[in-house]
Amino acid sequence: MRDVCIIGLGQTPIGELWDTSLRQLAYQALTAAVADAGIDRPEALFVGNMLASRLSDQAQLGALLADTCGWRGIEAATVEAACASGGAAFQAGVRAVASGMADVVAVCGVEKMTEATSHEVTSGLATAADADYEVAHGITFVALNALLMQRYMHEYQVPHEAFCEFSLNAHKNAVNNPNAMFRKSISPEIYAKAPVIAPPINLYDSSPICDGAAALILAPLEVARDLGVDPIRVKASASATDCLNLDDRRDLLSLDAARASAQKAYAQAGLGPGDVDVFEVHDAFSIMTALSLEAAGFAEPGTATHLAREGAIAIDGSVPISTMGGLKARGHPVGATGVYELADLVTQLRGQAGQNQVPDAAIGMTQNIGGTGATVVTHILTRE
């Protein structure tokens, strides 16, 4: 098994990009990534996408986007694991390189969500849940997260306002990210007065419906050195699953798949949570931020909001999260998100995060969560 590195990065700004189609988004991110890597074309392309089949009537994105980029002929496929599609596609790319089957591989997460009706998007997102045991009864994906948040608040006696700091931190960090959707700070007052979407989840507990694409180029260490680029090492690539339906979970608040995938990743890298300088968390909802921080070992069960209150999640804290705005404020184009998380982490490890730079960031982790925790993909990256 060969050591795998990230040698190129490209991304589009995230937003309601009415004038940019699905293939144009991917084209922009992918061509920027190959230019950044200084290569002509990859040998293979793995696409992370969840909703194109429903919202854009388009399957087979692998071949489509390879051709769009002028790389007709290369190997390509799409990898899907709901909101963890980007992380799962990246893992497929890592394996293609690690196994020696390809040298230079591109991974692109892309999602175009704003060209459909709200009903179509809500129904599409609900496919991340169990169609027979959850969605058939009328529950939406937001409502499933609301059940988790309500349970958390009850079980640990945590008030709703305790989650506020997660949103404040994400919005504050998005201000300096030119690719972020919401480049504005919010205050505790704004959070407290936000409209409730599915109680107790309010507008600022939720990430937005949006469009975007991010891309990374992978290569073995020796190729990276030949190219003279400053590679970022992939030290761990691990995933784990749980049941989709919440009613059958061992413990509603433990996110077993997040725990298992983090533990596998720590074992692969020979590291622990104390070694991680940056953690790009899957903050699709503020309850997911708390559950992921706890499952990954950064906080004891029920105490993640303490980390936030104490400032540990800030850029200069002990566990900086959502450093470029996170899903909450950078944006959450669902199938692309896992690649955006990795892109933000690469930006940190390269020391290119500007005002949001985590000092001396050398080891970072991402956790990309599908559904309410059914598929979780964890990656650990290091500065070489």
Interface with a copy of itself includes 267 (CB under 8 A)?
no
Which tokens sit at 110?
């892309």
Interface with a copy of itself includes 127 (CB under 8 A)?
yes
Q: What is the dihedral of CA 72, 73, 75, 79, to 10 degrees?
A: 40
Q: Binding segment for a copy of itself among 130-138, 205-213, 215-223, 349-357 (CB under 8 A)?
A: 130-138
Interface with a copy of itself includes 76 (CB under 8 A)?
yes
Q: Which is nearer to a copy of itself, 125 or 315 (CB)?
A: 125
Q: Binding segment for a copy of itself among 81-89, 275-283, 292-300, 320-328 (CB under 8 A)?
A: 81-89
Report the distance separating Cα 283 and Cα 350, nearest Å. 23
- In sequence order, the 6+-apart residues with CB closer than 8 A to the CB of 183 are 174, 175, 176, 177, 325, 329
Report the distance separating Cα 139 and Cα 142, nearest Å. 8
Q: Which of the residues 69, 83, 108, 210 is marked catalytic?
A: 83
Interface with a copy of itself includes 338 (CB under 8 A)?
no
Interface with a copy of itself includes 237 (CB under 8 A)?
yes
Beta-bridge partner residues of 27: none
The C-alpha angle with vertex 287 and arms to 214 and 191, in degrees rounded to 5, equals: 90
Interface with a copy of itself includes 361 (CB under 8 A)?
no
Interface with a copy of itself includes 135 (CB under 8 A)?
yes
Report the distance separating Cα 66 and Cα 72, nearest Å. 6
By C-alpha distance, which of 219, 241, 214, 242 is closest to 230? Answer: 219
Q: Which is nearer to a copy of itself, 87 or 331 (CB)?
A: 87
Interface with a copy of itself includes 223 (CB under 8 A)?
no
What is the dihedral sign for C-alpha 77, 83, 86, 88?
Answer: negative
Interface with a copy of itself includes 260 (CB under 8 A)?
yes
Query: Could you give the 3-state DSSP secondary structure of residue 278?
Result: strand
Size of the site for a copy of itself (CB under 8 A): 62
Phi and psi at 173, nearest 5°, equal -70, -30
Query: Which residues contact a copy of itself by CB under 8 A?
Result: 1, 21, 23, 50-51, 53-54, 56-60, 62-64, 66-67, 72-82, 88, 91-92, 95-96, 98-101, 123-124, 126-128, 130-132, 135, 237-244, 248, 256-257, 260, 370-371, 374-375
**Active site members:** 83, 332
